[in-house]
């Protein structure tokens, strides 16, 4: 029994040791390299394991490139993998570019891949151009009518400017700006509706793809809709603003007139108060004149008669009253 247990332990240790050997020495990949005439030694495959580079990725990429007639080395692919790149995408892009007669070398492809762009998709876009639909762009012609245009932009990837070139957002922004400028320079919105291709011609001649990762092949106006009458709306808003300003100024003048009227009334009351104070001093002055002997009894009676005569003349002069007509009849 002890012998059987010892053999079992030896067997398990042997299996584990064999698995470790096969893991670090990928014999199956080495045989694949021999059969496909790919120059990768067994030592290179073992060192890849130690450098934490999956040998299968490098071997498959080397086989694909070899069959496509490309001259790539395992060191180049391994260095690109260690730099954080996508080895298979780069190889596929190089194969597609070679078949489509697009000039693309390994250095440029890896630079594009490490820049964060999908190099394989870029090569495909160079072969099959992509159509980008712009969002609705609103612009106003010189006659004040708003037009809402939609465009389809056909672009092709520019391999030489993929690194550092602007993306689709820049293309859409520039096309939208060109549409607004083209419609805004039109004398009438009817001319734009009659010839919508004039917008695309003007926009296309502006070189909007400069500094971008794409080459604009065509700009087609898909739809043009008539929007609001912005000119009339602005005139109405201006008229309402002028009316509000005029009303505010009129209200200001009315308030000033009311204030001036109240001020004049206050002045009248002040004058009346002064007259009343002056009249109150007359009896005091007469009494002082009596005490000082400057006014006699006869003078006082004469003054009263004059006042009575004056009051009678005023009552006769008033309409509706007189000596023969009682007051209030």
DSSP state of 41: -
| CATH-assigned architecture of domain 130-232 | 2-Layer Sandwich (3.30)
CB atoms within 10 A of CB 146: 18
Task: Answer whether residue 224 shows pLDDT above 60.
Answer: yes
Task: Answer whether residue 13 shows pLDDT above 70.
Answer: no
DSSP string, 270-306: HHHHHHHHHHHHHHHHHHHHHHHTSS-HHHHHHHHHH
Judge whether 109 and 90 are in contact, CB under 8 Å.
yes
Task: Answer whether residue 214 shows pLDDT above 70.
Answer: yes
Residue 6 structure tokens: 């010892």
d(CA 202, CA 205): 5
d(CA 94, CA 113): 12
Give the model confidence (pLDDT) of 248-293 as tens digits. Answer: 988 888 889 888 888 888 888 888 888 888 878 877 777 777 777 7
Percentage of the chain lying above the pLDDT 90 cut: 0
Task: Answer whether residue 42 shows pLDDT above 80.
Answer: no
Residue 281 structure tokens: 């001093």
Task: Answer whether residue 327 shows pLDDT above 50.
Answer: no
Give exposure, 41-66, as e/b (b: 16+ Cβ within 10 Å).
eeebbeebeeeebebebbbbbbbbbb
Compute φ and ψ for 30, nearest 5 degrees: -65, -40
d(CA 96, CA 91): 9
Can you tell me the mean pLDDT for 77-101?
86
DSSP string, 196-250: THHHHHHHHTT-TTTTBSEEEEEEEEEEEEEEEEHHHHHHHHHHHHHHHHHHHHH
Give the model confidence (pLDDT) of 170-195 as tens digits. Answer: 888 888 888 888 888 888 878 877 77
Q: Where are the domains of the chain?
A: 21-127, 130-232, 296-329
- For residue 5, what pLDDT band results from cuts at 50, 70 and 90? low
- For residue 321, what pLDDT band results from cuts at 50, 70 and 90? low
pTM of the model: 0.54
Q: Is 317 helix (H, G, I), strand (E, B) or coil?
A: helix
């Amino acid at each position: 029994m002890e012998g059987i247990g010892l053999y079992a332990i030896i067997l398990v240790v042997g299996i584990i040791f064999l698995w470790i050997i096969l893991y670090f020495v990928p014999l199956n990949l080495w045989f694949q390299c021999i059969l496909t005439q790919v120059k990768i030694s067994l030592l290179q495959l073992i060192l890849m394991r130690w450098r934490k580079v999956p040998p299968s990725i490098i071997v498959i990429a080397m086989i694909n490139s070899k069959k496509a007639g490309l001259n790539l080395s395992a060191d180049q692919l391994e260095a690109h993998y260690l730099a954080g790149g996508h080895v298979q995408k780069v190889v596929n892009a190089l194969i597609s570019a070679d078949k489509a007669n697009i000039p693309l070398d390994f250095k440029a492809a890896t630079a594009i891949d490490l820049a964060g762009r999908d190099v394989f998709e870029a090569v495909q876009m160079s072969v099959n151009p992509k159509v980008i639909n712009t969002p609705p762009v609103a612009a106003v012609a010189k006659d004040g009518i708003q037009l809402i245009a939609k465009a389809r932009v056909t672009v092709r990837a520019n391999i030489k400017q993929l690194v550092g070139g602007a993306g689709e957002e820049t293309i859409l922004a520039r096309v939208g700006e060109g549409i607004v400028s083209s419609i805004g320079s039109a004398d009438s919105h009817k001319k734009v509706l009659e010839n919508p291709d004039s917008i695309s011609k003007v926009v296309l001649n502006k070189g909007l793809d400069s500094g971008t990762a794409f080459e604009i092949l065509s700009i087609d106006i898909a739809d043009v809709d008539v929007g609001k009458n912005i000119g009339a709306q602005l005139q109405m808003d201006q008229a309402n603003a002028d009316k509000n300003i005029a009303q505010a100024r009129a209200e200001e003048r009315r308030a000033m007139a009311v204030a001036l009227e109240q001020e004049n009334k206050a002045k009248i009351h002040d004058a009346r108060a002064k007259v009343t104070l002056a009249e109150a001093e007359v009896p005091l002055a007469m009494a002082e004149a009596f005490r000082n002997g400057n006014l006699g009894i006869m003078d006082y009676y004469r003054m009263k008669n004059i006042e009575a005569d004056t009051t009678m003349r005023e009552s006769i002069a008033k309409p509706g009253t007189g000596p023969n007509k009682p007051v209030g009849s």
